[in-house]
Structure 1
Amino acid sequence: MKRNSLHIVLIVLLLLLQGRLCIAATGYVFPDANFKAYLLANRPSVIYPDGSLNITAANAATGPFKCYNQNISNLDGIQYFTNISTLEVKYNPNLHSLPNIDGLTSITTLGLDSNDLTSLPNLSTLVNLQVLSFHHNRVVVLPSISNLSQLKVLFAQSNQLTALPSLSAQVNLDKLFISDNPLTAIPSMSSLVKLTYFSAHRLPLTSLPSLTNCVLLEYLVCSENQMIAVPNITNCAQLKELWMPECKLNTLPDLSSYTQLHTVNVSISELSFEDLLPSTLNPGFNLIDFNFTGQQPGTAGSINVLTTNAVVIDLGFDNALPNNIYTWYKDGVFFTTTTINKLNFASVSLNDGGIYTCNVTNTTPSVAGITLTARPITLRVSPCIASNNLYYSIENTACTYPIVVALDESSFNAGTGPFTYKIATKKDTLAFNTPTFSLSKEGVFDILVKDATGCEVTFESKLKIERNSECDPVFYPNGDGVADSYYIESTGTAQIYNRMGELVKELTVPAYWDGSTKKGQDAPSGLYVIVVNKDLTIRVTLLR
């Protein structure tokens, strides 16, 4: 056994001497083949022959490290490149996280754009960092940047951030991009005294922090937000561009003193001439690219009112502003023109109900080409006395006149009692102070109802008064000599109608009706209505 072992040792030594066996040093083994392939192609000096990372060589590597579009899913190994000045790893859609990079204290730029990161590592040791960019990822939390006082650029747009850490240490920050994040709040920006560019598009916020300490601010870009006001820019005298289109702005600061302005876009918002006119006094206003189009000031709403009441449709903006002209439309059709922001109705009627819109212009030359479209206001007019169903009953069931009618006042769902009534007949108008009244004949009547406030409403053809059906006469035109015809004793013209309202025959009366039609044919059995002089109504039943 000892002799065999000695033989093996001698053979190995011999091979080593002949250079036929090479043993390579072993370093850090990469978990991601694509990352290793990138290093082999771009930094081969840090890779051992066996494909592992030479940690000593990685520590010694300097300069920028830029790795784009390599389909890397695991960046482990990057933590050993402790002396690089820039780390940019971008466009790797399968990269969801980073290893600990606390040791990369020399980097001044960290670029992580367009990967699929859901988190960032601790950044507190990267005290030399000047550019931090991780836009177009899915990062939920931005770690503390309180140690990054040298930071000049922060690109954090298009992530899933709901909050930002304190910005109190960012006294050197020049550019801040936070658009397209579900941010619920933004911390104070009072320390950002060197900020020149602030971008905050499409945030679910109604306001931004004060920018009054950002005295070097040149570009404020905050479109498509829910913000109702421009943030405080009182000391931002260097402002060149103000971009806040498609917001909910209902007020605009006076921009007349901002002499560096060359672009203002506050289009598609809720501003009025009262907001705009002060800014037209800017000495360079005519040179400013000022986009004020698409304004819809005011508040959309509705007004509910009863007929005969007075009502005012008030736009709620530009109160008593001179030179304004208001062109009103009702249901899209021109209605009237006024010089005040109100539309007055002394006594509204049902026909006044509808959707009112208003186009507002101003004759001041600097804004002469601008038209504001106020938000629509719906005027809903209801009868001051209303009833879905007018209930009444016939009190006397005997076949006698007058007919006593009892009106059920509980069927009114609007109006103030006590009520009075008028019923118009062909000859006169009958007035009643109680809901029980007498009529001398049958028929269909209009009834005018007046309440205690003076409101009057006419219910057309709502009273259909007729006697008990047992009171209707019956005749039998069968030739037996008994009740063969019906005698109409009134004088004038009688028109005979069937139950479907079709004219059957017309007679000059007094006269007998023998049950025949105007063509001389036998009318069928049924109920017929005889109207005399378009006033008296008689019901008669014909049986054969």
Structure 2
Amino acid sequence: MKLLFYKSGGLSIIFALIFILLGTRNVMADPTTDSLALVGLYNTTNGQNWTIRWNLSQPMRNWYGVITNGNGTVGVLNLGNNNLSGTVSDLNLPNLRILDLSQNFISGQVPNFTYCPYIESLNLEKNLFSGNLPLFNTNLRLIFLKINNNQLTGTIPNFQNLTQLQMLDLRNNYLSGSIPNFTKLDTLFNLELSNNKLTGNLPNFNEMINLRVLDLAHNELGGFIPTFLNQDSLKILDLSFNKFIGPIPNFLSLFGLNSLILNNNLLSGQIPNFSNLSALTENLLLQNNRIIGTVPNFSNLWNVKTINISNNRIDSIPKFTMLTGLNYLDVSKNKLTFDDIIPNNGLASNGYTYSFQDTFGLKRLFYVATGDTFVYDLNIDKGYPSHQYKWYKDGQPLFTSNNTSLVISNLNVLDAGEYYCEVTSPLAPNLVLYSRTIRLVFNLISGNDECSNATRISNLDNNLFRVDINNASPDTYQSSCVLGSNNIWYYFTAVGEDIILNVPRTTFLPEVEISLLRFDGTPCDGQNAVEIGCGSNALVLSNVLVPGQIYFISLSITDGSNFSFDFRINNPISYLPPANDLYCNARSITPNGVCQSFSNIDATRDIGQAFLPCNFSNSVWFKVKLSDQKNKLIFNTQGVTNFTNISLMVGYFSEPPCSGQFIPVRNGLYCGTGSTITCDSLRDSIEYYVQFATDFFNAGNYKICIKEEGPILECGLNDQCKIDQSDGPSFISLNTSQGMNCVVGCNSSASLGINLSDNTCFSFRTPTTYHWIDTDSDAGFLNLNFNSDWLIQPQIAVYEYNDTCGIWKNIACNQGYQGLTKLEKVPVEPNKKYVIAVSDFNNKTGQYNLCVGVEKNTNSCNLSSSFYVTNTSFGSPLGGPYLPEEEVEFCYQINNWKSEECNFLQGIIPLLDLDGIRQVSIPMVNPLKC
């Protein structure tokens, strides 16, 4: 027998089956025994309080909700929504086929129903059942099982004996663990497990070929979404509100799918064209993910009613007006512009939401000089004369025009600052676009600035000295910090990789902006300036400086006033006198998020204040060690109410505690009132010490909450991931048909190994990890996506390896921030060996995800037979006697031309008419010398 179920409001009982079921063979049973079982149920569920009570003096067949079989035994018991409370024991009703106790107040464990071997429909939804699910091992004929909307806990059994089950609905409980592999449930039509606490990856659904509804929403499931190759009957697929990663599959086998609901996950990549989903007539919900790129035109989804792709990173959409069935389209909170929004104005009457888009353009820093003309074009939405472009400088309106360019002639120092543009259009009145900020910075000119007269600091060991900003000349250099004028400059030679700069707070001092720079070239020349870091009143940098390198410090007051203040510079290691400070008696805390109470009423001034940014006393110390695979501490000090300001410093001892050598962690620094403070890039093998200090000797009680988190390692591009913890190069086998490959690497003890001194992008530091790649016969481009919670400023580069020459040739590289970076469309040649190098600018070590994919070269060109090649000393002329075009596409690999040169050229070049023969000269670009 087959029953077909779809997602509906709440089926309480299957009346169409009652008479069929009652006509089937009955087990030998006694109606008296059944009546006694029902009386027991009546008593344990407070029958006197039922909405419709039983008259026990009447025959059993007259009791509400009871339908008897031909032999007088109970076949159907329907007591749904009848105010039952209390508990239910294991009923002894051997001929029972349908049991409905839904929408009541029954509590306790779900019975096994051991003595109901012929039960086929069991509906216990919307009650108060708790505890674990039974196995239902004796209920082999069960077809319909609904225990949703209860308080069940524990894991889900695989129900391997329920081989006739067609509906399993366990929604809205507290079930945990992974979804079992329901290999025996090949008759299942509906599987609904939403709103639980399920974790892990999706199991193999290949055996469930009859599945119509799969609802796993609102759980904590992760991993990659499978393609569901055998589920061509699937109508509804809902995986929303989980933690799925990777690309969205094309679902080529889901021919009958009506609704695809994947919103609120961590999905990445581009949206496929869903070429086989012509039956998708209800919902396509992909909002709140990490989808990028261009949206396909969905030309085959004519009748889809709802499309929601909001809150992603999409930068282009097509014209959707040809989707005649579309009732609602939401493309808000992406990276779209008016070029995308305006063509879809015809959908306005159907529910078209596009408001709020991400800022466009790049956040850039421009170095300019006095007297120059600065021109910056937004490069957006050309051809719309009705657009309005309103420019702002330092947050204040500057001017409005219908031109996309910002032009500033005859620059002077007053033009320095931050600019952005607000773009509006009457054709899309609900949208305002904002450009990313650009900053104009004036170059330093040697001999004409305070930088040229910088004072040398020789003592870096907790050196405290007085700074006077009085009548200093205005500084023409501004860093990316908010700096004022009247800068005072210092310089020093680094002796380690860390530095701490801070201004102890005083009562009337405004913010002091601190910038740390180095100059790659002539000192005090803005063109050579490299900003290392900046901050207000404090700057703590770890693993950043290069010993022996000269660094410059710029100090300024934001309002340009004249002030005198103390300034402290501190060595990478702060020396604390052993055994005479509060940290020696630090209280141990488990980072489980539970708030704990502290008191510093009796605390004395802390000797180890040298490295704190605030001039605080009354310190309290505690220590914490992270669990395995955790790398982040989160402090919540919102409960602090007794103090004007607090300071939080996190660090560790390079030797056993109380030895006097304390190394602060860069991100664990805070001055101000209560807040949430995150300290990341930590290690689970180190015991960290936390100093909590208050200002002006205030004393009191407070609470602080600490919890730990682990690294988020998500590749986001493929489910074929492998672990490589070796120090040597790992091999990644790629081909254009397999898509992306993800490698989880670790550079904890790798060494440099390759001479990269002539690298044109940046110099790798140790440790560096390498991955080999052999391209296949039709490779054209490499795409790399990198993320890590350990490597903060990752550097990746691609090198071509020439077997004959034996030399590494750098072809692409990039440096990222916050653990993220990528390389796109790196041109490669077929059948060649390449190496990917991974490092970190700050010498960080740890685990990372590297995703690598190869694309076909769809733009490859083939030279016709009329082309010929001649060797010259300056290049390789290509020509032909009968070429009507003024441009020619050429594709020529110079590999046998000269043995000492290896190069590859491709592109479009102009032709020259020399003596009636069209020729072209190709100069050699950066030939690789063997």
TM-score under structure 1 length normalisation: 0.59
- Contact persistence 2:452–2:524 (CA under 8 A): no
Q: Is the 8 A contact 2:214 2:238 kept in 1?
A: yes
SS in 2 for 1:278: helix
Instruction: Identify the match of residue 157 of structure 1 among 217, 225, 229.
Output: 217
After superposition, where does 1:55-70 map in structure 2 within 5 Å?
55=114, 57-70=115-128
For residues 54 and 286 of structure 1, do their structure 2 counterparts lie closer, same or farther at Cα, with a shift above 3 Å needed? closer
Which residue of structure 1 lines up, in the alignment, with residue 374 of structure 2? 311
CA contact (8 A) 1:388 1:411 kept: no
Mapping of 1:57-456 within 5 angstroms?
57-113=115-171, 114-139=173-198, 140-163=200-223, 164-185=225-246, 186-207=248-269, 208-217=271-280, 218-229=282-293, 231-232=295-296, 233-280=298-345, 282=346, 285-308=347-370, 309-364=372-427, 367=428, 369-383=429-443, 385=445, 387-391=449-453, 413-414=524-525
Q: What is the Cα deviation at residue 80 of structure 1?
A: 2.0
> What is the distance in 2 between the residues matched to 1:301 and 1:250?
17
* Cα RMSD, aligned residues only: 3.2
Question: Equivalents in 2 of 1:85, 1:275: separation in Å?
Answer: 50
Q: How far apart in 2 are the matches of 1:310 and 1:299?
A: 21
Matched-pair contact (CA < 8 Å) for 2:295–2:317: no
2:284/2:307 contact within 8 Å kept: yes
Give aligned-pair identity as a percent: 22
Structure 2: runs of 5 or more not aligned: 1-43, 46-85, 96-109, 455-520, 528-930
Query: 1:38 deviation in Å?
Result: 5.7
Q: Describe the SS at the equivalent of 2:245.
A: coil
Decide whether the 8 Å contact of 1:269 with 1:297 is kept in 2: no
User: What is the identity, as a one-letter code, of the residue corresponding to 2:209?
Assistant: S
Gaps of 5+ in 1: 1-32, 393-409, 417-544
Count of residues in Structure 1 that have an aligned counterpart in Structure 2: 355
Instruction: State the AA in 2 paired with 1:293.
Output: S
Deviations 1:252-305 (A, max 9, x none): 12112112222112223221111112223x4xx342211111123413512221
Q: CA deviation at 1:200?
A: 1.8
Contact between 2:299 and 2:323, CA under 8 Å: does it hold in 1? no
Distance 1:126 1:54, change over 3 A: closer
- Shift of residue 411, structure 1, vs aligned partner: 8.9
Structure with the largest fraction of helix: 1
Alpha-carbon distance in 2 for matches of 1:52, 1:267: 49
Give per-residue Cα distances to partners, 1:345-382, cap 9 Å, x unaligned.
34433222222222212244xx3x23322133131312
Question: Aligned partners of 2:252 and 2:111: how far apart in 1?
Answer: 49
Q: Alpha carbons of 1:339 and 1:46: their partners in 2 closer, same or farther (altered >3 Å)?
A: same
In 2, the alpha carbon distance for the partners of 1:299 and 1:155 equals 40
CA distance in 2, matches of 1:189, 1:241: 19
Contact 1:76 1:98 in 2 (8 A): no
**What is the aligned partner in structure 2 of residue 488 from structure 1?**
none
* 1:162 partner SS: strand
Structure 2 counterpart of 1:197, which letter?
S
Q: Deviations over 1:392-427 (max 9, x none)?
A: 9xxxxxxxxxxxxxxxxx9961279xxxxxxxxxxx
d(CA) in 2 for partners of 1:274 and 1:370? 14
Question: 1:230 offset after TM fit, Å?
Answer: 6.5
Greater Cα shift, 315-324 or 330-339: 315-324
Q: Against the structure 1 CA distance between its residues 250 and 60, is the aligned structure 2 distance closer, same or farther, given a 3 Å change threshold?
A: same
SS at structure 2 position matched to 1:385:
coil
Separation in 1 of the partners of 2:238 and 2:113?
Answer: 38
Query: Could you tell me which amino acid in structure 2 is paired with residue 266 of structure 1?
Result: V
C-alpha separation in 1, matches of 2:262 and 2:375: 40
Report how far residue 320 of structure 1 moved. 4.2
Q: Which residue is equivalent to 1:45?
A: 93
Paired residues of 1:223 and 1:247 also in contact (CA < 8 A)? yes
Note the C-alpha offset of 1:344.
2.3
Q: Is the 8 A contact 2:111 2:134 kept in 1?
A: no
Q: Is the 8 A contact 1:161 1:183 kept in 2?
A: yes
The offset of 1:183, in angstroms, is: 0.9
CA distance change for structure 1 residues 177 and 335 in 2, over 3 Å: closer, same or farther?
A: same
Q: Matched residues in 2 for 1:58 and 1:325: separation?
A: 74
CA distance in 2, matches of 1:204, 1:348: 46
Task: Give 3-state SS (helix, strand or coil) of 1:258's partner.
Answer: coil
Residue by residue over 1:51-95, the C-alpha shift from the partner in whole angstroms, topping out at 9 and shown as x without a partner, is: 99675x433112234354444323234132111211122345452
Superposed displacement of residue 339, structure 1 = 2.2
Asked if structure 2 preserves the Cα contact closer than 8 Å seen for 1:65 and 1:85, the reply is no
Which secondary structure does the structure 2 equivalent of 1:115 belong to? coil
Amino acid of the residue matched to residue 291 of structure 2?
Answer: M
Give, in whole Å, the separation in 2 of the partners of 1:126 and 1:110: 10
What letter is aligned with 2:219?
A: N
CA distance in structure 1 between the aligned counterparts of 2:450 and 2:404, rounded to whole angstroms: 36
The corresponding residue for 1:431 is none
| Equivalent residues of 1:306, 1:384 under 8 A apart | no
* Cα gap change, 1:312 to 1:203, in 2 (>3 Å): farther
Tell me, in whole angstroms, the C-alpha distance in 1 between the residues paired with 2:387 and 2:348.
21
Query: Which has the higher mean CA deviation after the structures are superposed, 88-97 or 238-247?
Result: 88-97
Instruction: Say whether the 8 Å CA contact 2:135–2:159 is kept in structure 1.
Output: no
Q: Secondary structure at the match of 1:64?
A: strand
Query: Aligned in 2, Cα 1:76/1:53: closer, same or farther, shift over 3 Å?
Result: closer
SS state at 2:266 partner = coil
Cα distance change of structure 1 residues 252 and 187 upon mapping to structure 2, 3 Å threshold: closer
How many Å separate the matches in 1 of 2:330 and 2:388? 24
Find the counterpart in structure 2 of residue 461 from structure 1: none
Conserved? CA contact 1:167–1:188, under 8 Å: no
8 Å contact kept, 2:295–2:314: no
- 1:236 Cα shift? 0.8
CA contact 1:152–1:172 (8 Å) conserved in 2: yes
Per-residue deviation at 1:221? 1.8
Matched residues in 1 for 2:241 and 2:312: separation?
14
Q: Which amino acid aligns with 1:83?
A: R
Secondary structure, aligned partner of 1:274: helix
C-alpha deviation, 1:249, in angstroms: 2.4
- TM alignment of 1:445-484, pairs within 5 A: none
